[in-house]
A = this chain, B = another copy of it.
Protein backbone atom coordinates (compact mmCIF):
# COMPACT_ATOMS: atom_id res chain seq x y z
CA UNK A 1 0.00 0.00 0.00
CA UNK A 2 1.26 3.43 -0.83
CA UNK A 3 -0.13 5.37 2.09
CA UNK A 4 -0.57 3.67 5.39
CA UNK A 5 -1.96 5.66 8.28
CA UNK A 6 -2.88 4.64 11.80
CA UNK A 7 -3.26 7.50 14.23
CA UNK A 8 -4.68 7.64 17.71
CA UNK A 9 -4.71 11.06 19.30
CA UNK A 10 -7.06 11.80 22.13
CA UNK A 11 -7.33 15.26 23.63
CA UNK A 12 -9.96 16.67 25.90
CA UNK A 13 -11.60 18.48 23.05
CA UNK A 14 -11.37 15.87 20.36
CA UNK A 15 -10.57 12.23 19.83
CA UNK A 16 -8.98 11.19 16.56
CA UNK A 17 -8.74 7.47 15.94
CA UNK A 18 -8.11 6.69 12.33
CA UNK A 19 -6.53 3.84 10.44
CA UNK A 20 -6.55 3.18 6.72
CA UNK A 21 -4.42 2.01 3.87
CA UNK A 22 -4.58 3.57 0.45
CA UNK A 23 -2.95 2.66 -2.84
CA UNK A 24 -0.96 5.14 -4.89
CA UNK A 25 -2.92 8.04 -6.29
CA UNK A 26 -5.07 10.66 -4.67
CA UNK A 27 -6.51 9.79 -1.30
CA UNK A 28 -9.29 12.16 -0.47
CA UNK A 29 -10.19 12.83 3.14
CA UNK A 30 -13.81 13.68 3.11
CA UNK A 31 -15.94 14.77 6.01
CA UNK A 32 -17.92 17.50 7.64
CA UNK A 33 -16.43 20.56 9.27
CA UNK A 34 -14.80 19.55 12.54
CA UNK A 35 -14.56 15.87 11.69
CA UNK A 36 -10.79 15.89 12.14
CA UNK A 37 -9.45 16.19 8.61
CA UNK A 38 -6.97 18.93 9.36
CA UNK A 39 -5.91 17.20 12.56
CA UNK A 40 -5.12 14.05 10.62
CA UNK A 41 -3.20 15.83 7.91
CA UNK A 42 -1.18 17.64 10.58
CA UNK A 43 -0.21 14.31 12.07
CA UNK A 44 0.95 13.11 8.66
CA UNK A 45 2.95 16.29 8.17
CA UNK A 46 4.59 15.91 11.56
CA UNK A 47 3.09 19.15 12.86
CA UNK A 48 1.52 17.21 15.67
CA UNK A 49 3.01 14.16 17.26
CA UNK A 50 0.35 11.65 18.23
CA UNK A 51 1.30 9.25 20.99
CA UNK A 52 0.28 6.19 19.02
CA UNK A 53 0.75 6.27 15.31
CA UNK A 54 2.24 4.57 12.34
CA UNK A 55 2.39 6.63 9.20
CA UNK A 56 4.21 5.58 6.07
CA UNK A 57 4.31 6.60 2.43
CA UNK A 58 5.38 3.46 0.63
CA UNK A 59 8.53 2.37 2.45
CA UNK A 60 9.18 5.89 3.76
CA UNK A 61 8.21 5.62 7.41
CA UNK A 62 7.24 9.01 8.78
CA UNK A 63 6.28 7.85 12.21
CA UNK A 64 6.22 4.56 14.00
CA UNK A 65 5.60 5.15 17.65
CA UNK A 66 6.26 1.52 18.50
CA UNK A 67 9.69 1.63 16.92
CA UNK A 68 10.28 5.09 18.33
CA UNK A 69 10.53 6.60 14.86
CA UNK A 70 9.36 10.13 14.32
CA UNK A 71 10.64 12.30 11.52
CA UNK A 72 10.47 16.03 12.12
CA UNK A 73 8.44 17.94 9.53
CA UNK A 74 11.40 19.20 7.55
CA UNK A 75 12.70 15.71 6.94
CA UNK A 76 9.40 14.35 5.69
CA UNK A 77 9.71 15.80 2.21
CA UNK A 78 6.03 16.57 2.00
CA UNK A 79 4.40 19.49 0.27
CA UNK A 80 1.66 20.88 2.47
CA UNK A 81 -0.88 23.28 1.04
CA UNK A 82 -2.56 24.75 4.09
CA UNK A 83 -6.18 25.65 4.48
CA UNK A 84 -5.16 29.24 5.22
CA UNK A 85 -2.28 29.79 2.83
CA UNK A 86 0.42 30.64 5.34
CA UNK A 87 2.53 32.60 2.91
CA UNK A 88 5.66 34.26 4.26
CA UNK A 89 4.73 37.91 4.61
CA UNK A 90 8.28 39.18 4.34
CA UNK A 91 9.00 37.51 1.03
CA UNK A 92 7.73 38.36 -2.42
CA UNK A 93 5.57 35.87 -4.23
CA UNK A 94 8.59 34.77 -6.20
CA UNK A 95 10.62 34.22 -3.05
CA UNK A 96 7.76 32.38 -1.44
CA UNK A 97 7.59 30.07 -4.41
CA UNK A 98 11.32 29.48 -4.33
CA UNK A 99 11.45 28.82 -0.61
CA UNK A 100 11.32 25.05 -0.74
CA UNK A 101 13.41 24.73 -3.89
CA UNK A 102 16.67 25.07 -2.03
CA UNK A 103 15.97 22.10 0.15
CA UNK A 104 14.79 20.07 -2.81
CA UNK A 105 17.71 20.97 -5.02
CA UNK A 106 19.29 17.53 -4.80
CA UNK A 107 16.07 15.64 -5.24
CA UNK A 108 14.89 14.33 -8.57
CA UNK A 109 12.06 16.10 -10.32
CA UNK A 110 11.67 18.42 -13.26
CA UNK A 111 9.10 20.90 -12.05
CA UNK A 112 10.13 24.45 -12.91
CA UNK A 113 9.11 27.81 -11.56
CA UNK A 114 7.91 28.89 -14.98
CA UNK A 115 5.71 25.90 -15.37
CA UNK A 116 4.10 26.38 -11.99
CA UNK A 117 3.66 30.10 -12.48
CA UNK A 118 2.00 29.49 -15.80
CA UNK A 119 -0.28 26.85 -14.57
CA UNK A 120 -1.48 28.85 -11.60
CA UNK A 121 -1.74 32.14 -13.47
CA UNK A 122 0.36 34.05 -10.99
CA UNK A 123 2.87 35.57 -13.37
CA UNK A 124 1.67 39.10 -12.68
CA UNK A 125 2.01 38.67 -8.94
CA UNK A 126 5.62 37.53 -8.76
CA UNK A 127 7.05 40.73 -7.38
CA UNK A 128 4.18 41.54 -5.03
CA UNK A 129 3.97 40.66 -1.37
CA UNK A 130 1.35 38.34 0.08
CA UNK A 131 -0.38 41.03 2.11
CA UNK A 132 -1.70 42.66 -1.04
CA UNK A 133 -3.09 39.51 -2.62
CA UNK A 134 -6.72 38.52 -2.73
CA UNK A 135 -7.78 35.33 -0.98
CA UNK A 136 -7.67 33.27 -4.13
CA UNK A 137 -4.36 34.67 -5.27
CA UNK A 138 -2.81 33.73 -1.96
CA UNK A 139 -4.01 30.17 -2.20
CA UNK A 140 -2.64 29.76 -5.70
CA UNK A 141 0.77 30.87 -4.55
CA UNK A 142 0.61 28.44 -1.64
CA UNK A 143 -0.08 25.61 -4.04
CA UNK A 144 2.84 26.60 -6.21
CA UNK A 145 5.13 26.80 -3.24
CA UNK A 146 4.33 23.26 -2.16
CA UNK A 147 4.73 21.89 -5.68
CA UNK A 148 8.14 23.47 -6.12
CA UNK A 149 9.48 21.70 -3.04
CA UNK A 150 9.44 18.46 -5.10
CA UNK A 151 7.66 16.55 -2.37
CA UNK A 152 7.35 12.79 -1.94
CA UNK A 153 3.70 13.37 -1.24
CA UNK A 154 1.41 16.36 -1.45
CA UNK A 155 -0.87 17.20 1.45
CA UNK A 156 -3.61 19.58 0.48
CA UNK A 157 -6.10 20.87 2.99
CA UNK A 158 -9.03 22.23 1.03
CA UNK A 159 -6.69 24.01 -1.32
CA UNK A 160 -9.45 25.20 -3.60
CA UNK A 161 -11.99 26.40 -1.07
CA UNK A 162 -11.06 30.03 -1.66
CA UNK A 163 -10.98 29.80 -5.44
CA UNK A 164 -13.64 30.60 -7.97
CA UNK A 165 -15.01 27.97 -10.30
CA UNK A 166 -12.86 29.04 -13.20
CA UNK A 167 -9.68 28.83 -11.14
CA UNK A 168 -10.77 25.56 -9.61
CA UNK A 169 -11.30 24.13 -13.04
CA UNK A 170 -7.84 25.34 -13.99
CA UNK A 171 -6.04 23.97 -10.99
CA UNK A 172 -7.78 20.66 -10.50
CA UNK A 173 -6.20 19.13 -13.59
CA UNK A 174 -2.85 19.80 -12.08
CA UNK A 175 -3.60 17.66 -9.09
CA UNK A 176 -4.64 15.01 -11.56
CA UNK A 177 -1.40 15.36 -13.37
CA UNK A 178 0.44 15.00 -10.08
CA UNK A 179 -1.36 11.73 -9.66
CA UNK A 180 -1.01 10.52 -13.22
CA UNK A 181 2.15 11.99 -14.65
CA UNK A 182 4.39 12.92 -11.81
CA UNK A 183 3.00 9.93 -10.02
CA UNK A 184 3.12 11.71 -6.68
CA UNK A 185 0.76 10.46 -4.00
CA UNK A 186 -1.64 13.12 -2.78
CA UNK A 187 -3.58 13.32 0.45
CA UNK A 188 -6.35 15.74 -0.30
CA UNK A 189 -8.92 17.19 2.05
CA UNK A 190 -12.14 18.27 0.49
CA UNK A 191 -15.76 19.06 1.14
CA UNK A 192 -16.66 18.98 -2.49
CA UNK A 193 -18.11 15.88 -4.04
CA UNK A 194 -17.13 17.08 -7.47
CA UNK A 195 -13.51 17.34 -6.42
CA UNK A 196 -13.68 13.95 -4.77
CA UNK A 197 -15.13 12.32 -7.82
CA UNK A 198 -12.65 13.87 -10.09
CA UNK A 199 -9.51 13.27 -8.09
CA UNK A 200 -9.98 10.43 -5.71
CA UNK A 201 -8.33 7.10 -6.19
CA UNK A 202 -9.35 6.29 -2.66
CA UNK A 203 -11.95 7.94 -0.53
CA UNK A 204 -11.56 8.10 3.23
CA UNK A 205 -14.66 9.46 4.85
CA UNK A 206 -14.27 10.81 8.38
CA UNK A 207 -16.99 11.28 10.92
CA UNK A 208 -16.20 12.75 14.31
CA UNK A 209 -12.62 11.63 14.25
CA UNK A 210 -13.26 8.14 12.95
CA UNK A 211 -13.19 6.55 9.53
CA UNK A 212 -16.77 5.93 8.51
CA UNK A 213 -15.99 4.61 5.08
CA UNK A 214 -12.90 3.83 3.08
CA UNK A 215 -12.40 2.30 -0.33
CA UNK A 216 -11.69 2.85 -4.00
CA UNK A 217 -13.41 5.95 -5.29
CA UNK A 218 -15.61 4.14 -7.81
CA UNK A 219 -16.83 1.74 -5.18
CA UNK A 220 -17.53 4.30 -2.49
CA UNK A 221 -19.11 6.81 -4.83
CA UNK A 222 -21.19 4.20 -6.61
CA UNK A 223 -22.71 3.04 -3.37
CA UNK A 224 -26.20 4.49 -3.14
CA UNK A 225 -25.88 4.36 0.64
CA UNK A 226 -22.97 6.77 0.64
CA UNK A 227 -24.58 10.18 0.90
CA UNK A 228 -22.35 12.06 3.27
CA UNK A 229 -23.30 15.48 2.01
CA UNK A 230 -26.82 14.90 0.83
CA UNK A 231 -28.41 13.03 -1.98
CA UNK A 232 -27.20 15.39 -4.64
CA UNK A 233 -23.77 13.89 -4.20
CA UNK A 234 -24.73 10.35 -5.19
CA UNK A 235 -23.33 9.19 -8.47
CA UNK A 236 -21.67 6.28 -10.17
CA UNK A 237 -18.25 6.24 -11.74
CA UNK A 238 -17.69 4.43 -15.00
CA UNK A 239 -14.41 3.36 -16.49
CA UNK A 240 -14.08 4.07 -20.19
CA UNK A 241 -11.56 4.59 -22.91
CA UNK A 242 -11.30 7.34 -25.52
CA UNK A 243 -12.63 5.94 -28.78
CA UNK A 244 -12.63 8.88 -31.13
CA UNK A 245 -12.49 12.67 -31.29
CA UNK A 246 -15.27 13.95 -33.52
CA UNK A 247 -15.11 17.06 -35.62
CA UNK A 248 -18.07 18.74 -33.98
CA UNK A 249 -16.10 18.94 -30.76
CA UNK A 250 -17.41 15.81 -29.12
CA UNK A 251 -15.27 12.99 -27.84
CA UNK A 252 -16.66 9.52 -28.06
CA UNK A 253 -15.84 7.19 -25.22
CA UNK A 254 -16.15 3.47 -25.20
CA UNK A 255 -17.44 2.09 -21.93
CA UNK A 256 -17.41 -1.68 -22.39
CA UNK A 257 -18.92 -1.37 -25.84
CA UNK A 258 -21.33 1.43 -25.06
CA UNK A 259 -20.67 4.77 -26.73
CA UNK A 260 -20.70 7.85 -24.54
CA UNK A 261 -20.35 11.36 -25.94
CA UNK A 262 -18.64 14.17 -24.09
CA UNK A 263 -17.32 17.59 -24.97
CA UNK A 264 -13.78 17.37 -26.31
CA UNK A 265 -11.40 15.71 -23.90
CA UNK A 266 -7.66 16.24 -23.89
CA UNK A 267 -6.84 12.55 -23.60
CA UNK A 268 -5.51 10.64 -26.56
CA UNK A 269 -7.46 7.99 -28.30
CA UNK A 270 -7.06 4.77 -26.35
CA UNK A 271 -6.40 6.44 -23.01
CA UNK A 272 -8.56 5.41 -20.07
CA UNK A 273 -10.83 7.98 -18.41
CA UNK A 274 -13.25 7.98 -15.55
CA UNK A 275 -16.65 9.40 -15.94
CA UNK A 276 -18.87 10.28 -13.09
CA UNK A 277 -22.56 10.25 -13.66
CA UNK A 278 -24.41 11.97 -10.89
CA UNK A 279 -27.57 10.11 -9.95
CA UNK A 280 -29.64 13.23 -10.31
CA UNK A 281 -28.50 13.65 -13.89
CA UNK A 282 -29.98 10.36 -15.02
CA UNK A 283 -33.50 9.98 -16.36
CA UNK A 284 -34.96 6.51 -16.70
CA UNK A 285 -37.31 5.46 -19.44
CA UNK A 286 -39.32 2.27 -19.90
CA UNK A 287 -39.54 2.81 -23.65
CA UNK A 288 -36.60 3.39 -25.91
CA UNK A 289 -36.40 7.19 -26.02
CA UNK A 290 -36.62 8.90 -29.36
CA UNK A 291 -36.26 12.45 -30.56
CA UNK A 292 -34.42 13.45 -27.39
CA UNK A 293 -31.59 15.95 -27.24
CA UNK A 294 -29.66 13.62 -24.96
CA UNK A 295 -26.97 11.65 -26.76
CA UNK A 296 -26.11 9.10 -24.12
CA UNK A 297 -28.64 6.40 -23.68
CA UNK A 298 -27.72 3.10 -22.07
CA UNK A 299 -29.89 0.07 -21.92
CA UNK A 300 -29.86 -2.05 -18.77
CA UNK A 301 -32.03 -3.44 -16.06
CA UNK A 302 -32.89 -2.38 -12.58
CA UNK A 303 -30.90 -4.17 -9.92
CA UNK A 304 -32.20 -2.35 -6.87
CA UNK A 305 -34.63 0.35 -5.85
CA UNK A 306 -33.84 2.03 -2.60
CA UNK A 307 -36.40 4.41 -1.22
CA UNK A 308 -34.93 7.31 0.67
CA UNK A 309 -36.32 9.27 3.57
CA UNK A 310 -37.77 11.97 1.33
CA UNK A 311 -39.82 11.74 -1.80
CA UNK A 312 -36.95 10.23 -3.76
CA UNK A 313 -35.52 6.83 -4.49
CA UNK A 314 -32.17 5.68 -5.80
CA UNK A 315 -32.42 3.18 -8.61
CA UNK A 316 -29.38 1.08 -9.46
CA UNK A 317 -29.27 0.09 -13.12
CA UNK A 318 -26.90 -2.54 -14.39
CA UNK A 319 -25.62 -1.60 -17.83
CA UNK A 320 -22.92 -3.21 -19.89
CA UNK A 321 -20.72 -0.22 -19.01
CA UNK A 322 -21.16 -0.80 -15.31
CA UNK A 323 -23.64 0.14 -12.63
CA UNK A 324 -25.37 3.49 -13.05
CA UNK A 325 -27.34 5.19 -10.31
CA UNK A 326 -30.42 7.23 -10.97
CA UNK A 327 -32.32 9.38 -8.55
CA UNK A 328 -36.04 9.51 -9.29
CA UNK A 329 -39.11 10.38 -7.31
CA UNK A 330 -40.95 7.54 -5.65
CA UNK A 331 -43.96 8.72 -7.61
CA UNK A 332 -42.12 8.08 -10.88
CA UNK A 333 -40.72 4.80 -9.63
CA UNK A 334 -44.27 3.66 -8.98
CA UNK A 335 -45.65 5.09 -12.20
CA UNK A 336 -42.97 3.39 -14.28
CA UNK A 337 -43.19 0.18 -12.26
CA UNK A 338 -39.50 0.14 -11.52
CA UNK A 339 -38.46 -2.99 -9.67
CA UNK A 340 -35.64 -5.46 -9.68
CA UNK A 341 -35.10 -6.99 -13.07
CA UNK A 342 -37.19 -4.49 -15.04
CA UNK A 343 -35.47 -3.39 -18.25
CA UNK A 344 -34.94 0.36 -18.56
CA UNK A 345 -33.07 2.96 -20.58
CA UNK A 346 -30.86 5.37 -18.69
CA UNK A 347 -30.76 8.76 -20.37
CA UNK A 348 -27.79 10.99 -19.64
CA UNK A 349 -27.36 14.35 -21.29
CA UNK A 350 -23.94 14.71 -22.80
CA UNK A 351 -23.27 17.99 -21.17
CA UNK A 352 -24.51 16.86 -17.85
CA UNK A 353 -21.41 14.79 -17.54
CA UNK A 354 -19.60 17.73 -16.07
CA UNK A 355 -15.94 18.48 -16.74
CA UNK A 356 -15.18 18.29 -13.04
CA UNK A 357 -16.46 14.78 -13.02
CA UNK A 358 -14.09 13.41 -15.58
CA UNK A 359 -10.71 12.33 -14.47
CA UNK A 360 -8.04 10.93 -16.73
CA UNK A 361 -6.01 8.09 -15.32
Chain A residues proximal to chain B, CB less than 8 Å: 13, 31-34, 38, 83-84, 128, 132-137, 140, 158, 161-167, 169, 191-193, 229-233, 246, 248-250, 261, 263-264, 280-281, 283-287, 289-295, 310-312, 326-333, 336, 338, 347, 349-352, 354-355
- Could you tell me if A135 and B162 are in contact, using CB atoms closer than 8 angstroms? no
- Could you tell me if B289 and A333 are in contact, using CB atoms closer than 8 angstroms? no
- Could you tell me if B287 and A283 are in contact, using CB atoms closer than 8 angstroms? no
State how many angstroms separate the Cβ of A71 from the closest Cβ of chain B: 26
Closest to A329 in B: B350
A77 to B230, CA, bound (A): 37
- Beyond contacts A33-B162, A280-B352, A332-B350: 8 other A-B pairs, Cβ-Cβ < 8 A, are A32-B166, A83-B162, A135-B158, A165-B191, A281-B349, A283-B293, A293-B332, A327-B349
14 interchain pairs, CB-CB under 8 A: A32-B167, A84-B135, A135-B158, A166-B230, A169-B230, A231-B351, A249-B310, A264-B310, A281-B281, A284-B292, A285-B292, A287-B291, A291-B336, A332-B350
- Contact A249 to B136, CB < 8 A, known contacts A33-B167, A333-B293: no
Closest to A354 in B: B232
Among B161, B264, B352, contact of A161 (Cβ-Cβ < 8 Å): B161
Closest to A169 in B: B230
- Contact A351 to B327, CB < 8 A, known contacts A285-B293, A336-B293: yes
Closest to A353 in B: B280
Among B33, B134, B231, B233, contact of A135 (Cβ-Cβ < 8 Å): B33
State how many angstroms separate the Cβ of A56 from the closest Cβ of chain B: 26
Closest to A350 in B: B329
